[in-house]
Structure 1
Amino acid sequence: MASLWKWRADDLDTIFKVINQGLMKKPYWVEYHDVYDDGTPVWNGEKSVFWNMLEQAYPEEWRQMMRRMMSKMEELGGLQKGTHQEKLMAFFDKYYFQVIGDFSSMLYNEDGKNYEQMKLAMLQGRYANDTDPLGQSLGNASSPERAWVKKRIQYMMSKYSFGDYDATTADGSITVRTSAQADGSSNSIVLRLTPALKLYPTIGYGTTAIRGARTDAGKPCEITVDINGTSDQQLSIKSADWLLDIGDWSGYVINGALSVIGKRLKRLKLGDADASKVKILISSLTLGNTVSLTEIDVQNIATLGGSLDLRNNYRLRSFLGKGTKLTEAHFADGGALEKVEYPETASYIELKNLDNLTNDNCDIRDCKGNVMSYFVAGCDQLQPIKKLTEILDAQQGQPNHALRYVRCVGFNETFSDGTMFDKLVRLVDGTYQGIDAEGQYGNDQYPVLDGTINLTTGAYRDSYDALMVHYPKLKLNIAKWWIRFEDPEVKRICVENWDKDGDGELSTEEAATVSSIGTAFKDLTLSSFSELAYFKGLTRIDNDCFMSVTINGKVIVPEGVKTLGRAVFMYAHVNVIDLPSTLMYIEERCFQEISCASLVVRASNPPVLYGYREFMFASIKDVYVPDTSIGLYKNAQDAGGYWKNMNYKPLSEYTLK
């Protein structure tokens, strides 16, 4: 007989969100006296004298009865550990949703056919009822009903101050210690709570629950709390997980450590850009399960220090921390961060895979002199090298610079200032170290730079070479090479005369196009002019070019020069003169009365002398010539016999000096 009988679900309207006509129309926040849009009461018993008198005569008893009912439901549900929400949901699972398994999908389908037949009969006038037959054929509707019950539980707890909304429980609350303004300017605070669902926002003050008005989702609810005296009182925001916003707390006197929870919180405003408005005095801030936060403002909370862990806040878009004493703020790897303002005390910067963060919205102005660790990787719109050079500039005058550890990866930046290479070269002086991909120190001897730098202007080649030795993964695209002049006066003259593009530097290309340098350096005292070697367009050094100069270092005459003009070095005092292998002819009085420690002549054959006082009264200590050419120089024939009387040394010895 058992196989001939099956249980069937019947009359499934008016359960949870379903109304009597079979429509899923009833909201989770429905109460007595609510009406639909057309003015029809939700409850058929709206005009019941008994229920209305009962409600008016025993309002508090009604609330107490409801709390006892929910407490008993938790007990019957059988869940020993968990939140009040979970315990009440366990009750519905046990007595309602669990039985769905007793009704197979086939039975629901077969039952639906019966309702279809009744619908056809109704259309043919053979069946009459006050409800549409198809309105009774809803299947099990498990998923939407579970979602509805979950919201309904939260709503009912808020209405009757049960569970997380009870003043005596700390479960799910944001709890602080607060007091009135010390100056007596205010003896009350107004909390503005914005719920994620339509419910009754609630706070606990001491042992009293203060329930706000029934508030729509996304709309603020104001709750005023009268503060008695200046002594601390416990204030708690109930069921924080179901709030979108807890309002502006910058003007509240809140002390000690603050721990904030709320998985639906979108904004946390504890500080303000106007320091005079900030009264909050928290010493630390801890965030727990605040995964929906998009904004955090802790500006000008002068007592807030330590570190702030935001690595689970992937939706965070804005963090404003100026005016605090925070030393670290750790952001989510790959998060949505768009704006960050660091306080002066920040010593740790770590930004990973933040595609929306730009240079303008990454404010390190206050802290760049204190940054100790700098880690930026995969931030496509950020310019980490530019930020790094700002930090290096800010710490330039420090006896022991604060910055110690650097890692910049995945950048592609364009600069118009070639001197930034010189700033980066500081990183290889042995006082900086790298950071590995896991954020560990000590595994890389030098800072890690892995990316591309594009220069629309020039750069110094020696800086480039120094960088490439230590940063093989660094790609540099450079428009031109500048000449680094040892003597600033030499640079000034060269730039004034031959800087064609007006960038204040002389490039190797510009130097190579110079065909004559005239007498611009005559009678000057210089430290060095080895950079003359870049003037590869010269074929002749002009008459009197270096007459009466004093050069403590060296002069390197460029390859390609074939002739030294009249009196080029006459009366000069030069430590080293380096002549090219292309030199063929020396005109009259070129080295007359010169004082020179070393004259380097790279030409294999002795240059031809004009024949008139080329080396007259010259004081030249050593002359270096190619090793195989010493004999040629000693036997060279010239009118004054100058080549024969030099103190020759092999060029190889000069090279090794």
Structure 2
Amino acid sequence: MAKSKWKFRQDDLDTILTVINQGLMKKPYWVEYHDTYEDGTPVWNGEKSVLWNLMEQAYPEERAQMMRRMLAKMEELGGLQKGTHQEKLFAFFDKYHFSVIDNFSSMLYNEDGKLYEKMKLAMLQGKYTNDTDPLGQSLGDGKSPEIAWVKKRIQYLMSKYSFGDYDAKTAEGAITVRTSAQADATTNSIVLRLTPAMKLYPTIAYGTTIMRGARTDAGKPCEITVDINGTSDQQLSVKSADYLLDIGDWSSYVINGALSIIGKRLKRLKLGDEDEQKVKILISSLTLGNTTSLEEIDVQNISTLGGSLDMRGNYRLRRFLAGGSSLTEAHFADGGALEEVNYPATTSYIELKNLDHLTNEKCHVEACASNVMSYFVSGCDSLQPVRMLTEIMDAQAGQTSHALRYVRCVGFNETFTDGRMFDRLSQLVDGTFQGIDAEGQYGNDQYPVLDGTINLTTGAYRDTYDALMTHYPKLKLNIAKWWIRFEDPEVKRICIENWDKDGDGELSMEEAAAVSSIGTMFAKKTFTSLKELEYFGAEVFSSRAFEEVNVSGAIVMPGNCKEVSDGCFFKATVNTIDVPSSVTYLNGTCFMKSKIKNLILRSKTPPKRYGYWEFMGAQIEHVYVPDESVELYRAVNWDAKIPFAPLSKYQG
């Protein structure tokens, strides 16, 4: 060592590297020769060295090469065989600096600090002189900030001297893609705008050529022009993207092939644009590596971009804009910060898990609704997944074989004002849909999975409710009222016109029960069915109420009806008339000259009659009565032609 001209000075191993010679902790990690402090004082004591300044001017490239050789030797001395260049260089400092600091206890630092304090006092009294402030020597126990400073310094020096991650031969932490020779018809070049997360020299590699930008402050953009030469495609690589916040707008660049993004500090990735005319990028696939800081991804109108995009590691992602692309699947982080999604028309797979900030207004499935095959939404508190599901089903209503096959909808609490959505949900149990289990596997659930609460401020059809509850025991339905489902639209029209009190275009059970008199609005008309009359509250079927009516199906009389009035079914042609057990009186000519295939009298005791001409001229094929009452009915003085039969024989 005595003969060596250069040696590593170790007398300051207890001193933090961020401290300047005046003992102040204000030396930035990006300091270089010729940099000055705010007062104009040079940071480097050798600023006026004639020898150094001449060497710098005469051998600029040799100086850079020497620095790269030094960094390479530091990696070798550090002894780390695997890892990034950042890690290998830090291993050198850890081995020769931080490991030595670890040998100093806090007590020794405190005692050491007392000595430096005495030296400072002596220096102020003129009893001691030194080119370094003594108190600057007593700050060595700040290991954590010193480590942070060294790591930034390493990254900065690599960017300055195009070493390691900033070398054209290295792809670690880089964004890589192929560029077309026809990048720009007028300038044959592209201009990249790179925004670093810390002060450094943003760097581009085009083929084997390194293009280093100017020293750029954190958060400020740096423009680097890439000249596209030759006729063949070349690889374009943005170096050390881990230390970039933004790589600019790439939508107008004619680049193609597979784009690979690795950048843990990147906040925005703008590759597309909502204006289709501006988009020239031609990438076929996009792969995201360590991009945990991404908040926005824009791939709009990149028609060549297809396949699946995996964003399950992007928990901070807030906006995903993909309209106009050809992506078929987009996978998001479970429990992420997603606020807005714009699916392309080609999307067939929707999976949203525990995304508390996503709303229906910002979850755009309009374009892909007709193509969705798999729908999985769970734990999204601000989303209304059932509403979205019904919109998807509506979009596929005209398809011969609907695209939607698999459904899982869990953890919702939605309120609806339109009860017709229940009819759409009831389609889920028709056997053409299957469920998805919690792990995303198909085939384990015979029917779609619905687990949540639906509140309906208006009405719903009871048969739909019953169908849903049969298959979905975990589904909770709070219904304000029950609507009556009419088989014949003309019957519904008449009922709505006469008895719809709340004006919702439907007749509820309550409204029907309030009907005390039916009148003659059904007389002399043709219907397929009038069985919904069973919900009405009329105790008397009015005279001539169904005169000359023609019903191919059934008329079911109200359950509390007591009397069938005179001429009620005069000359009526009906397949089936169901008379409830509450009817105790048949008046006069109630069935005179009627044609009835099946007449059901449910009362065990034959109803009283006004006379003997109730069935005068009637043609009735079957009269069904309770099994135990057949002989009782026959014993009464009825028309001998009435063919009584036990109700158990009725096959209607």
The TM-score by the shorter chain falls in which range?
A: over 0.9
Partner of 1:146: 147
Report the alpha carbon displacement of residue 456 of structure 1 after superposing the two structures with TM: 1.0
Equivalent pairs, count:
642
Task: Provide, for residues 26-85 of structure 1, a one-character-per-residue CA deviation record: whole Å limited to 9, x for no partner.
Answer: 000011121222222212222333322222222222212211111111121122222111
Partner of 2:643: 647
Contact 1:182 1:230 in 2 (8 A): no
Contact 1:519 1:544 in 2 (8 A): yes
Specify the code of the residue in structure 2 equivalent to 1:602: R
Partner of 1:596: 596
Please, what is the CA RMSD of the aligned residues?
2.0
Contact 2:196 2:246 in 1 (8 A): yes
Task: Provide, for residues 440-495 of structure 1, a one-character-per-residue CA deviation record: whole Å limited to 9, x for no partner.
Answer: 11111111111111111111111111111111111111111110001111000001
Partner of 2:560: 560
Contact 1:14 1:20 in 2 (8 A): no
Contact 1:159 1:200 in 2 (8 A): yes
CA distance in 2, matches of 1:355, 1:127: 68
Q: Tell me the SS of whatever aligns to 1:551.
A: strand
Task: Provide, for residues 493-524 of structure 1, a one-character-per-residue CA deviation record: whole Å limited to 9, x for no partner.
Answer: 00111111111110111100111111110100
Partner of 1:202: 203
Contact 2:563 2:586 in 1 (8 A): yes
Contact 2:15 2:137 in 1 (8 A): no
Partner of 2:423: 422
Partner of 1:629: 629
Report the alpha carbon displacement of residue 13 of structure 1 after superposing the two structures with TM: 8.7
Partner of 2:100: 99
1:25–1:463 CA distance, 2 compared to 1 (3 A): same
- 1:231-246 paired onto structure 2 within 5 Å: 231-246=232-247
Contact 2:282 2:304 in 1 (8 A): yes
Contact 1:321 1:341 in 2 (8 A): yes
Report the alpha carbon displacement of residue 321 of structure 1 after superposing the two structures with TM: 1.1
Report the alpha carbon displacement of residue 343 of structure 1 after superposing the two structures with TM: 1.1
Specify the code of the residue in structure 2 equivalent to 1:608: K
Q: Tell me the SS of whatever aligns to 2:371.
A: coil
1:85–1:648 CA distance, 2 compared to 1 (3 A): same
Query: 1:59 aligned to 2:55?
Result: no
Specify the code of the residue in structure 2 equivalent to 1:499: D
Partner of 1:5: none
Partner of 1:356: 357
Contact 2:625 2:645 in 1 (8 A): yes
- 1:104-123 paired onto structure 2 within 5 Å: 104-118=105-119
CA distance in 2, matches of 1:541, 1:275: 68
Contact 1:430 1:446 in 2 (8 A): yes
Partner of 1:615: 615
Q: Tell me the SS of whatever aligns to 2:361.
A: coil
CA distance in 1, matches of 2:377, 2:623: 55
- 1:567-582 paired onto structure 2 within 5 Å: 567-582=567-582
Partner of 2:171: 170
Report the alpha carbon displacement of residue 635 of structure 1 after superposing the two structures with TM: 3.1
- 1:337-486 paired onto structure 2 within 5 Å: 337-486=338-487
Contact 2:19 2:136 in 1 (8 A): no
Task: Provide, for residues 275-295 of structure 1, a one-character-per-residue CA deviation record: whole Å limited to 9, x for no partner.
Answer: 111111111111111111111
Task: Provide, for residues 571-593 of structure 1, a one-character-per-residue CA deviation record: whole Å limited to 9, x for no partner.
Answer: 10011111121112222211110
1:520–1:401 CA distance, 2 compared to 1 (3 A): same
CA distance in 2, matches of 1:299, 1:379: 25
Report the alpha carbon displacement of residue 230 of structure 1 after superposing the two structures with TM: 4.4
Contact 2:183 2:228 in 1 (8 A): no
CA distance in 1, matches of 2:16, 2:300: 50
Report the alpha carbon displacement of residue 190 of structure 1 after superposing the two structures with TM: 0.4
Contact 2:581 2:603 in 1 (8 A): yes
Task: Provide, for residues 593-619 of structure 1, a one-character-per-residue CA deviation record: whole Å limited to 9, x for no partner.
Answer: 011011111223222222263221111
Report the alpha carbon displacement of residue 646 of structure 1 after superposing the two structures with TM: 2.1
Partner of 2:259: 258
Report the alpha carbon displacement of residue 226 of structure 1 after superposing the two structures with TM: 1.9
Contact 2:588 2:613 in 1 (8 A): yes
Q: Tell me the SS of whatever aligns to 1:465.
A: helix
Specify the code of the residue in structure 1 equivalent to 2:407: V
1:209–1:650 CA distance, 2 compared to 1 (3 A): same
Deviates more, 1:49-58 or 1:443-452: 49-58
Contact 1:334 1:355 in 2 (8 A): yes
Task: Provide, for residues 346-388 of structure 1, a one-character-per-residue CA deviation record: whole Å limited to 9, x for no partner.
Answer: 1111111111111111111111111111111111111111111
- 1:180-199 paired onto structure 2 within 5 Å: 180-181=181-182, 184-199=185-200
Q: Tell me the SS of whatever aligns to 2:26.
A: coil
Contact 1:257 1:282 in 2 (8 A): yes
In structure 2, runs of 5+ residues without a counterpart are 1-9
CA distance in 2, matches of 1:127, 1:562: 123
Partner of 1:541: 541
CA distance in 1, matches of 2:595, 2:302: 71
Report the alpha carbon displacement of residue 437 of structure 1 after superposing the two structures with TM: 0.7
Report the alpha carbon displacement of residue 426 of structure 1 after superposing the two structures with TM: 1.3
Query: 1:315 aligned to 2:316?
Result: yes
Partner of 1:299: 300
- 1:268-279 paired onto structure 2 within 5 Å: 268-279=269-280
1:183–1:314 CA distance, 2 compared to 1 (3 A): closer
Task: Provide, for residues 217-249 of structure 1, a one-character-per-residue CA deviation record: whole Å limited to 9, x for no partner.
Answer: 111100112222443222211111111111111
Specify the code of the residue in structure 2 equivalent to 1:282: I
CA distance in 1, matches of 2:350, 2:587: 65
Specify the code of the residue in structure 1 equivalent to 2:588: E
CA distance in 1, matches of 2:620, 2:108: 116
CA distance in 1, matches of 2:13, 2:171: 39
- 1:501-540 paired onto structure 2 within 5 Å: 501-535=502-536, 537-540=537-540
Report the alpha carbon displacement of residue 300 of structure 1 after superposing the two structures with TM: 1.0
1:387–1:342 CA distance, 2 compared to 1 (3 A): same
Q: Tell me the SS of whatever aligns to 1:272.
A: coil
Contact 2:15 2:138 in 1 (8 A): no
Report the alpha carbon displacement of residue 10 of structure 1 after superposing the two structures with TM: 6.3
Partner of 2:586: 586
1:649–1:64 CA distance, 2 compared to 1 (3 A): same
CA distance in 1, matches of 2:128, 2:504: 95
Q: Tell me the SS of whatever aligns to 2:451.
A: strand
1:564–1:59 CA distance, 2 compared to 1 (3 A): same
CA distance in 2, matches of 1:126, 1:300: 74
Deviates more, 1:159-168 or 1:474-483: 159-168
Specify the code of the residue in structure 2 equivalent to 1:175: T
Contact 2:78 2:92 in 1 (8 A): yes
Contact 1:180 1:186 in 2 (8 A): no
Specify the code of the residue in structure 2 equivalent to 1:274: D
Report the alpha carbon displacement of residue 116 of structure 1 after superposing the two structures with TM: 4.3
Contact 1:13 1:20 in 2 (8 A): no
Task: Provide, for residues 303-360 of structure 1, a one-character-per-residue CA deviation record: whole Å limited to 9, x for no partner.
Answer: 1111111111111111111111111111111111111111111111111111111111
CA distance in 1, matches of 2:298, 2:388: 23
Deviates more, 1:505-514 or 1:168-177: 168-177
Contact 1:12 1:138 in 2 (8 A): no
Specify the code of the residue in structure 2 equivalent to 1:198: K
Specify the code of the residue in structure 2 equivalent to 1:243: L
Task: Provide, for residues 423-449 of structure 1, a one-character-per-residue CA deviation record: whole Å limited to 9, x for no partner.
Answer: 111111111111111111111111111
Report the alpha carbon displacement of residue 122 of structure 1 after superposing the two structures with TM: 7.2
In structure 1, runs of 5+ residues without a counterpart are 1-8
Partner of 1:490: 491
CA distance in 2, matches of 1:185, 1:300: 23
Report the alpha carbon displacement of residue 628 of structure 1 after superposing the two structures with TM: 3.0
1:214–1:126 CA distance, 2 compared to 1 (3 A): closer
Q: Tell me the SS of whatever aligns to 1:306.
A: strand
Q: Tell me the SS of whatever aligns to 2:46.
A: coil
Contact 1:179 1:229 in 2 (8 A): no
Task: Provide, for residues 534-554 of structure 1, a one-character-per-residue CA deviation record: whole Å limited to 9, x for no partner.
Answer: 00x211111110000001111
Task: Provide, for residues 189-233 of structure 1, a one-character-per-residue CA deviation record: whole Å limited to 9, x for no partner.
Answer: 100001111000011122221110110011110011222244322
1:325–1:471 CA distance, 2 compared to 1 (3 A): same
Report the alpha carbon displacement of residue 117 of structure 1 after superposing the two structures with TM: 4.5
